[in-house]
Amino acid sequence: MSWFLYLLECKSGAYYAGITNDLEARFSAHLQGTGAKYTRANPPVRVLASKPYPDRSTASSAETMLKRLPRDKKLAFFDQ
C-alpha cells in the first residue's frame, strides 16, 4: 500500500500539507470539515500536488521536510 504526501490550496490562499494512504477520501474529509482542525477553519479549494511513498514512515519524513520549506519552494518539492 502506498502513502501519499499531498499539498492543498485553501480558500485563504494558504497551503496545507499532509499524508494519507487514500488521497481521494482524505481530500473529501477535508472538504466536509472532518479532515483536520486547520482545514475546518481554512477550507481547501484543490489538491495542488501529491507524491507517493512506499510507507507511512517515509511519507511522514517527507512531510516534515516539506513543512520546513518556505512557501515559494513547496511546489518544487514535488518535482524532486
Model's pTM, two decimal places?
0.94
CATH number of the domain within which 10 lies:
3.40.1440.10
Domain that holds residue 54: 3-77
How far is residue 2 CA from its own chain's centroid?
15
33 φ/ψ angles, rounded to the nearest 5 degrees: 85, 15
Q: Is 65 left (phi over 0), alpha (psi -120 to 50) or beta?
A: alpha
Residue 80: what pLDDT? 86
Provide the number of structural domains found in the chain: 1
Enumerate the β-bridge partners of residue 47.
8
The yes-or-no verdict on residue 75 having pLDDT over 90 is yes
Tens-place pLDDT, residues 29-70:
999 999 899 999 999 999 999 999 999 999 999 999 999 999
Please provide the size of the chain in residues: 80
Per-residue model confidence (pLDDT) at position 72? 96
